[in-house]
Amino acid sequence: MAAFAFDNSYRRLPERFYAPLAPQPVVAPRLIAFNRVLAAELGLDADAMAPTAAGLFSGNQIAEGAEPIALAYAGHQFGNFVPQLGDGRALLLGELIDAKGFRRDVQLKGSGPTPFSRNGDGRAALGPVLREYVVSEAMHALGIPTTRALAAVATGEIVRRETALPGAILTRVAASHIRVGTFQYFAARQDAEALRLLADHVIARHYPQAGTAERPYLALLAAVAERQANLVARWMTVGFVHGVMNTDNTAISGETIDYGPCAFLDAYDPATVFSSIDRGGRYAFRNQPAIAQWNVARFAETLLFLIDPDIDTAIALATETLKAMTSQFGRAWLSGMRAKLGLMREEDEDGTLIGELLGAMHAGAADFTLTFRTLADGAGAARDLFGAPEAFDTWAARWQARTAREGVADAEIRARLKAANPAIIPRNHRVEDVITAAVERQDFAPFQTLLEAVQRPFEDLPQFAPFTRPPQADERVLQTFCGT
């Protein structure tokens, strides 16, 4: 029996979309993690698969029906266009139709060199694999669209970065791996035929309703823009900093993709940058909505000739669509932040109320996640989190008056706050601890514990209480690294 029922639609696109290639075997694969819940969702028989999982998810054993390919793409990296990037250390094994009928990509990341590797070794280090595993599963548990982690395997090999590090491979599952940069790859080559094929593939796969619109490619742009606006709004409500919002790391499906130096805010500061390579702060927390819009504008440029044969008409239509992203983001953000304050009715002053709390949090260096979660226990409890509580006190009085106008019992407000505000996020110092234990002591128990904790972010479980706490002064992680 075939373990995976692959149906590889991307492989049916022309050869210039990818390079067919087998993964490079590794010396001693050892399974670190296998996501049985996700496996079941994908229609896989986890029990039957378990004995061969290390082989399958290292690439040593090629699953029946897999047709591995490295995808071609380009991208703007920190604003600079690179006409050829591509999967330099990843291979798409194939596509599955999941239990709900959705097409999902199964990809190995760290599977060895490809024609797109340039000077890279095509491998991944254990640390970044564990980070992506934990953070992507946390994002999923928070209800935020994201690629998923199906498995992690230690390769038994060493990868050389600044130091020698243990190698690993992540098996990633995504709605697709098509990026803004995939469109840019063909636009840079003035390959109109490929752009049309790609756009049609994306419409059929991700946005079928656009296919029946009067202007299908404009509808595609609008749908991608709206998903990006909604996605980034969700990031902003949990304090997530992606860190490398390059156009090659912007998924057309609207999923969060490519977890590199990503991290969550502890104390609230909208200017926060974690990534060591983001020296200009281009991808600072507060810049993310504008950057998403910039990235979608690069997507729009590749579609102009499909939107309308008259370039001026196409530009006018695309510009209008891009402008709408600002209000889409604003609406999504406001509704997310209202929910975080227990509000379901809409009042004109709500934006001000939210802004004042954020201002007080910034001034008082209050922890973003813990402040919102603690509001469920009342304003008095949250007050202790503020370095300078006076601004918070003024705000708290207004918030109490505002929640009273919701016209529901306090217990209902409290329940709303607990449902909207996670207790547990993968805090940077915890992620670092997990990586250190695994890399330096081959101890994966902390990884397993953190993974279990982040999968239940809205619960108050005593065994996970330590994960709700912000870092002590000496535990703070201020800088993160891609580690690729």
Distances in whole angstroms, Cα of residue 193 to Cα of each of 16, 175, 229: 11, 24, 29
Of the pair 171, 371, the CB lying nearest ligand AMP is at 171
- The alpha carbons of the chain give a radius of gyration, in whole angstroms, of 23
CB of 197 to Mg ion, least distance (A): 23
Q: Which is nearer to Mg ion, 75 or 426 (CB)?
A: 75
Q: Which is nearer to Mg ion, 174 or 218 (CB)?
A: 174
Give the three-class secondary structure for 38.
Answer: helix
Residue 249 lies near ligand AMP (rule: CB under 6 A): yes
Residue 410 annotated to the active site: no
Residue 320, CA distances (Å) to 221, 316, 360 in order:
11, 6, 36
Picked from Mg ion, ligand AMP, none, the partner binding residue 205 (CB below 5 to 8 A depending on kind) is: none
- Exposed (0-12), middle (13-18) or buried (19+): which is 445, by Cβ within 10 Å? exposed
CB environment 188-197: b (16+ within 10 A), e (fewer): eeeeeebbee
Binding mask 134-153 for ligand AMP (x = CB under 6 A): --------------------
Task: Report d(CA 253, CA 175) in Å as an integer.
Answer: 6
3-state secondary structure 254-272: CCECCCCCCEECCECCCCC
374, interface contact from ligand AMP, Mg ion, none, CB < 5-8 Å by kind: none
**CB of residue 249 to ligand AMP, shortest distance in Å:** 5
Interface mask toward ligand AMP for 69-98; x: CB under 6 A: ----------------xxxxx---------
> Where in 31-70 is the site for ligand AMP (CB under 6 A)?
none
Residue 242 in the binding site for ligand AMP (CB under 6 A): no
**What's the N-to-C CA distance of the chain in angstroms?**
36
- Piece of 243-251, 285-293, 309-317, 331-339 that binds Mg ion (CB under 5 A): 243-251
Q: How many residues at the interface with Mg ion, by CB under 5 A?
A: 2
Contact 247, 298 (CB under 8 A): yes
Q: Which residue has the tokens 């619109």?
A: 213
- Cβ at position 119, least distance to Mg ion in Å: 16
Question: 115 contacts which partner out of ligand AMP, Mg ion, none, CB within 5 to 8 A by kind?
Answer: none
Rounded Cα distance between 197 and 32, Å, is 39
CA-nearest of 209, 150, 113, 190 to 31 is 150
By the rule CB under 6 A, 261 interacts with ligand AMP: no
Question: How far apart are CB 158 and ligand AMP at their closest, in Å?
Answer: 13
Under rule CB under 5 A, which residues in 254-283 are in contact with Mg ion? 258
Distance CA 72, CA 253 (A): 17
Q: Report yes or no: 63 and 172 within 8 Å, Cβ to Cβ.
A: no
Token pair 């890399």 in the structure block, residue:
439
Residue in 51, 120, 143, 355 binding ligand AMP, rule: CB under 6 A: 120
C-alpha 53/C-alpha 31 separation (Å) is 7
* Closer by beta carbon to ligand AMP, 49 or else 198: 198
275 binds ligand AMP (CB under 6 A): no
Q: Does 249 help bind Mg ion (rule: CB under 5 A)?
A: yes
- Mark 140-159 as b/e (b = at least 16 C-beta within 10 Å): bbbebbbbbbbbbbbbeeeb
| Cα 39–chain centre separation | 20
Q: Does 105 bind Mg ion (CB under 5 A)?
A: no
Specify the 3-state DSSP secondary structure of 375.
helix
| Site size for ligand AMP (CB under 6 A) | 18
Sequence-separated (6 or more) residues with CB below 8 Å from residue 345: 405, 406
Is 222 among the residues that bind ligand AMP (CB under 6 A)? no
289-324 burial, b at 16+ Cβ within 10 Å, e below that, comes to bebbbbbbbbbbbbbbbbbbeeeeebeebbeebbee
* CB of 334 closer than 8 Å to CB of 347: no
Where does this chain touch ligand AMP (CB under 6 A) — which range of 31-39, 45-53, 242-250, 370-378? 242-250
173 sits near ligand AMP (criterion: CB under 6 A): no
Q: Which is nearer to ligand AMP, 75 or 422 (CB)?
A: 75
Q: Does 321 bind Mg ion (CB under 5 A)?
A: no
Is 23 a residue that touches ligand AMP (CB under 6 A)?
no
Catalytic choice (7, 47, 87, 248):
248
**389 binds ligand AMP, rule: CB under 6 A:** no
Indicate whether 457 belongs to the interface with ligand AMP (CB under 6 A): no
CB–CB of 252/184 below 8 Å? no
Shortest Å, Cβ 308 to ligand AMP = 32
- Of the listed pieces 147-155, 244-252, 328-336, 412-420, which binds ligand AMP according to CB under 6 A? 244-252
For residue 308, the partner it binds in ligand AMP, Mg ion, none, with Cβ less than 5 to 8 A by kind, is none
We find the least distance from the C-beta atom of residue 480 to ligand AMP, in angstroms, to be: 13
Residue 73 CB, nearest approach to Mg ion (Å): 9
Where on the chain is the footprint of Mg ion (CB under 5 A)?
A: 249, 258
Where on the chain is the footprint of ligand AMP (CB under 6 A)?
A: 85-89, 116-117, 120-123, 244, 248-249, 258, 260, 482, 484
What is the set of active-site residues? 248
